[in-house]
């Protein structure tokens, strides 16, 4: 790779606070964040482009070459930056920032990504946020309901439906269960990168003391640990569509994705209060939680030993809708 390259990568996990993490990193005067939040550059080899979902295909549909040739003054949430030349252009506006990075949640899950990153950027710092896998799964399920990606209101039925799909993968199926099987995903990075280059955050710590967790992260990145960031705003909060079937229909035929591209950010924020509500957010049942905890228990025990953290508190908790 040529030109300015990232010094750190946030590799996931999905629905573990990475959107909030990105926003806080972006506020730091010594940190430069890619104008495309999720580039998916290093996970390209694991992508099944032919079978992407309609809604995911809409989300990544950008004229990247035109965007990269311009000022990149507006942010893109997700894209697929496939070539090294395109990826380098993301960092053409770097000035004197000490830490340069991006956030792509596919990097933790996709199996060949850790090796691809190590081959291209062996000295890069790796950041990951791990969330109770049951809470993470349920938060993803609520997000899919909110955004009109699904209509199934029974959690276990939705999980079974996703597992039974003919084609599976990132952007193809929802991978509810698979994304939360962290042990092997984390191990891929620890097998390649020196432990001092890997910063593992727990969502529990991030939520309980966001300023403290971010100060630790800033210290790891080598920037001012107390830069006066505003941590009061939460991002990607759970919600429910006021018009469920309409929302699903708009998503499936592409209108939702079109509106996201055409409307300015300030108008989109105002429309969210019209489209979504905080009322009626479903709760996970004790039976659903027990079944999922049993599914994840062995993997969590292996993860706990791998990272040297007691994760027993991840079991038998009350869940909250969550944010990302």
Q: Give me the DSSP letters along 182-236.
A: HHHHHHHHHHHS-GGGEEEEEHHHHHH-HHHHHHHHHHHHTS-S----------S
| Cβ proximity of 167 and 97 under 8 Å | no
Q: What is the pLDDT of residue 249?
A: 58
Q: 173-203 in b/e burial notation, b at 16+ Cβ within 10 A?
A: bbbbebbbbbbebbebbbebbeeebbbbbbb
What integer is the mean pLDDT of 264-279?
61
Collapse the DSSP code of 170 into the 3-class scheme (helix H, G, I; strand E, B; otherwise coil) and give the result: strand
Q: What angle do CA 43, 20, 91 make, to 5 degrees?
A: 50
Across the chain, mean pLDDT equals 89
CA terminus-to-terminus distance, the chain: 31
pLDDT tens sequence across 45-71: 999 999 999 889 988 999 999 999 999
Q: Give the pLDDT band of residue 240 (cuts 50, 70, 90).
A: low
pTM above 0.85, yes or no: yes
Q: Which homologous superfamily is 8-314 in?
A: P-loop containing nucleotide triphosphate hydrolases (3.40.50.300)
Q: What is the pLDDT of residue 149?
A: 86
What integer is the mean pLDDT of 296-305?
98
Q: What is the pLDDT of residue 321?
A: 47
Q: How many CB atoms lie within 10 A of CB 288?
A: 18
| Cβ proximity of 36 and 102 under 8 Å | yes
Q: Give the pLDDT band of residue 241 (cuts 50, 70, 90).
A: low
pLDDT tens sequence across 122-161: 999 999 999 999 999 999 999 998 888 888 789 999 999 9
Q: What is the pLDDT of residue 148?
A: 81
- pLDDT of 319 higher than 50: no
Q: What is the pLDDT of residue 117?
A: 98
What integer is the mean pLDDT of 90-95?
96
pLDDT > 70 fraction of the chain, expressed in percent and rounded? 83
Domain residue ranges in the chain: 8-314
Q: What is the pLDDT of residue 259?
A: 60
Q: What is the pLDDT of residue 82?
A: 96
Q: What is the pLDDT of residue 270?
A: 60
């Amino acid at each position: 790779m040529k030109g300015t390259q990232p010094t750190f990568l946030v590799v996931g996990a999905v629905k573990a606070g990475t959107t909030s993490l990105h926003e806080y990193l972006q506020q730091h005067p010594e940190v430069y964040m890619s104008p495309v939040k999720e580039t998916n550059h290093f996970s390209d080899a694991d992508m099944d482009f032919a079978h992407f979902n309609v809604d995911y295909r809409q989300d990544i549909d950008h004229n990247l070459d035109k965007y990269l040739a311009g000022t990149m003054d507006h942010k893109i949430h997700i894209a697929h930056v496939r070539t090294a030349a395109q990826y380098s252009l993301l960092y053409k506006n770097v000035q004197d920032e000490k830490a340069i990075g991006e956030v792509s949640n596919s990097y933790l899950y996709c199996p060949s990504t850790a090796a691809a990153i190590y081959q291209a950027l062996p000295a890069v710092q790796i950041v990951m946020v791990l969330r109770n896998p049951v809470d993470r799964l349920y938060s993803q399920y609520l997000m899919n309901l909110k955004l009109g990606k699904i209509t199934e209101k029974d959690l276990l039925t939705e999980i079974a439906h996703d597992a039974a799909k003919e084609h599976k993968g990132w952007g193809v199926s929802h991978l509810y269960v698979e994304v939360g099987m962290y042990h092997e995903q984390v191990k891929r990075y620890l097998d390649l990168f020196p432990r001092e280059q890997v910063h593992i955050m727990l969502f529990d710590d991030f939520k309980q003391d966001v300023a403290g967790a971010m100060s630790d992260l800033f210290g790891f990145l080598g920037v001012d640990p107390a830069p006066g960031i505003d941590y009061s705003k939460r991002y990607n909060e759970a919600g429910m569509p006021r018009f469920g079937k309409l929302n699903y229909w708009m998503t499936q035929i592409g209108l939702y994705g079109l509106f996201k591209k055409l409307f300015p950010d300030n108008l989109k924020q105002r429309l969210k209060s019209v489209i979504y509500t905080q009322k009626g957010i479903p709760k996970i049942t004790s039976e659903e939680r027990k079944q999922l905890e049993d599914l994840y228990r062995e993997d969590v025990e292996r993860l706990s030993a791998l990272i040297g953290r007691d994760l027993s508190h991840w079991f038998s908790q009350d869940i909250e809708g969550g944010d990302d």
